[in-house]
Chains A and B, each alone.
Chain A
Amino acid sequence: MTDQCETFWLPRADLDRLIRLLSEDGYEVVGPKVDQSAIVYDRIESAADLPEGWTDRQNPGEYRLERRDDKRLFGYVVGPHSWKKHLFPADELVAAAKRAGDTWQFTTPNAPPRRYAFLGVRACELAAIAVQDRVFMGGPWVDPLYRARREAVLLIAVNCTQAAATCFCTSMNTGPRCERGFDLALTELEQGFTVECGSERGRELLRRLFPADGPAMAEATELAAAEAARSEAVTRITRRMDTDGLRELLLGNLESSRWESIAERCLSCTNCTMVCPTCFCSTVTEVEELTQVDRRRQWDSCFNIDFSRVNGNPSRNTIAGRYRQWLTHKLATWQDQFGTSGCVGCGRCITWCPPGIDLTQEVAELRSSVERDSAGAVP
């Protein structure tokens, strides 16, 4: 947790200078932007690119952009994109092979990584980045491509001051307050932002933004207003996931009939895995170029039937089996693998599921069906 006395004040008009300073420093600034009726994360040039006055309304299977009655720049929650598309791109070169006489010359990419500055990272997304850090850098093997980008990235977080109906970060202990893992964390107020520094890099950035006499400290009224705004997010979160004994609940009921019931609704469309900020499944495919063969890693999904294929036969031949794999991995076996849940409570998989399957609801149903069964067993 950052020290309250180190909270600074960034006037709204100076945010644009911050973006430009980052660009001058060689960062590619990525932030929220309205595109095709959604707020997505994309390259931004200035504060004018930000989704001023827009908000998102989310429900299971539903996402709508709506006008706000103010000019907030970060007055939305989360959209279909997550930062993983920049740290772990949906399609990237991992290796290449080139004919060299009667042999092959094998190479791996060694270009310097793109240096990103992410603007507008939510608390649940900071948690998601920390989860993917464990996946790609926490095991015996380290993915050099992920690590290079991850080490170069600058994270400017923005605290949520509202919540969507699909949010449940409070259940997963990931938000809504940004507490760690950022360089700077902003809380948006009408006239500007309170700013906390999470790293020396963030502090240095602020100093350079105000070279004359450094950044101003936030006033007590601003601190109080920011605190009130952040509390508003907490009170607006209505969705809950009961994580108590969740791993045991799921792994102890792998043969529950609930999986079949979910399968009747699940389209196995892979949307949930694409929008999930922690899902990391991929497949390396061969791409023949003019003078070489590229090996490209592309996002894949455990909902694809080919994903589990062994010797021509899929190991998970049913939607029930694939949904079970996804949910039990996300909420249970992830803990065995990475010492953390794979779910950060961002709610994207609920919003972007065409039939609106809600994992919090499914977990609750499984729990109550198990409780019913065990209650029924008692005479």
Chain B
Amino acid sequence: MTTDSRSSCATPAADPWRQQPARIHRMLQELPGVTTFELVPESGIGGGGHGIWPFRAGQFNMLYLPGVGESAISISGDPARADVIPHTVRQAGNVTRGLAALREGDVIGLRGPFGSSWPLERCGGHDVVLVAGGIGLAPLRPAIYQLLANRAEYGELTLIMGAREPQLLLYPGEYDGWRAAGLNVVTTVDRADGSWHGSVGVVTSILDRLWLRDPSGTLVFTCGPEVMMWYVMRTAASRGVPADSLYLSLERNMNCAVAFCGHCQFGPWFLCREGPVLSFDRVQRLLRIENL
């Protein structure tokens, strides 16, 4: 398995059940029902002994609201940034709704980072296409920061960003900066009124006609609704991108995050450990089996 070197990076000696207190430095309302929590571990980032190790793009943390529970949330910040750890959270269940009711300065529990990451180490010299749908941009954002921080090392970099409607594009304030830094940002929406002058249509249509300099040397990372990711993978494969160069971030019920509880199994994988990022060749067959 190629992900071994990238699976759970925190020290095995650490107590996996131990929560780290983390203070909410800032809460940013990104979209209706979507908030970014900038967390600062009480013991600092990168210091010793607290378990919050430098994370890799694509990994997630468990955010804990005592009395309510934990929720697995992708880290959406820059891995190189040592002041705060941002998590973009959509209100979907008790924990995420509880989080949304907190205020800046409140303290929550944090465990992590967990899981596999986007294979940036494979991207040197290659073209990379990121395809995000809705809030799926959150786990891709750390990869964007890292790619742009070392822009010269890569070929063409493209982000295809889809949303339901223009008002629901995530992190819109950053697109110009990314463009200036060398990322080709293409946005598209499912529906729009006359005030929208951008593209209407699904991300797969954009990917389908995207000019690829060297399909066999291109990597595609995608995160979004599973149906969208499936067709992104299929479209990219039809364009000649090898299945083992296509990566997606899967979501299942993560409860313990350390492969003890069994919840997040997907075929042979614990998505908390071998996932959430997996290559398409490994999951292709399983993805189309219902109730797996």
Instruction: Give the interface of A toward B (CB within 8 A).
Output: 94-95, 97, 102-106, 108, 135-136, 139-145, 251, 254-255, 280-286, 288, 293, 295, 297, 300, 302, 307-312, 315-318, 320-322, 324-325, 329, 332-333, 336-337
* Cα(A254)–Cα(B285), bound, Å: 10
Q: Which 7 A-B pairs have the closest CB atoms?
A: A321-B291, A336-B268, A281-B262, A97-B66, A106-B19, A141-B258, A333-B268
Report if B260 contacts A (CB, 8 A).
yes
Give the interface size class of chain B: 35 or more
Nearest chain B CB to A284 CB, angstrom units = 6
CB contacts (< 8 Å) of B106 on chain A: these are 102
Interface residue stretch chosen among B121-129, B147-155, B249-257:
B249-257
Report if B273 contacts A (CB, 8 A).
yes
Nearest chain A CB to B112 CB, angstrom units = 12
CB contacts (< 8 Å) of B66 on chain A: these are 97, 104, 286, 293
Report if B68 contacts A (CB, 8 A).
yes
The chain B residue sitting closest to A317, CB to CB, is B291
| Residue of A104, A144, A283 touching B109 (CB-CB under 8 A) | A104
Known: A141-B12, A286-B67, A309-B253. A321 touches B290 (CB 8 A): yes
Instruction: Give the interface of B toward A (CB within 8 A).
Output: 7-8, 12, 15-21, 23, 42, 64, 66-70, 92-93, 105-109, 251-253, 255-256, 258-263, 265, 267-268, 270, 273, 286, 289-292
User: A-B pairs with CB below 8 Å: how many?
Assistant: 138
The reply to whether B67 and A281 form a contact with Cβ atoms under 8 Å apart is no
The reply to whether A337 and B21 form a contact with Cβ atoms under 8 Å apart is no
* Cα(A312)–Cα(B91), bound, Å: 12
The reply to whether B263 and A95 form a contact with Cβ atoms under 8 Å apart is no
* Cα(A142)–Cα(B12), bound, Å: 6
The reply to whether A97 and B19 form a contact with Cβ atoms under 8 Å apart is yes
The reply to whether B109 and A106 form a contact with Cβ atoms under 8 Å apart is yes
The reply to whether B265 and A311 form a contact with Cβ atoms under 8 Å apart is no
The reply to whether A283 and B260 form a contact with Cβ atoms under 8 Å apart is no
Q: Which of B70, B253, B289 has its CB near the most chain A CB atoms (within 10 A)? A: B253
Nearest chain B CB to A314 CB, angstrom units = 8
The reply to whether A282 and B260 form a contact with Cβ atoms under 8 Å apart is yes
The reply to whether A144 and B17 form a contact with Cβ atoms under 8 Å apart is yes
Known: A282-B256, A310-B252. A254 touches B289 (CB 8 A): yes
The reply to whether A284 and B70 form a contact with Cβ atoms under 8 Å apart is yes
The reply to whether B263 and A307 form a contact with Cβ atoms under 8 Å apart is yes
| Residue of B17, B258, B273, B286 touching A95 (CB-CB under 8 A) | B17
* Cα(A144)–Cα(B11), bound, Å: 13
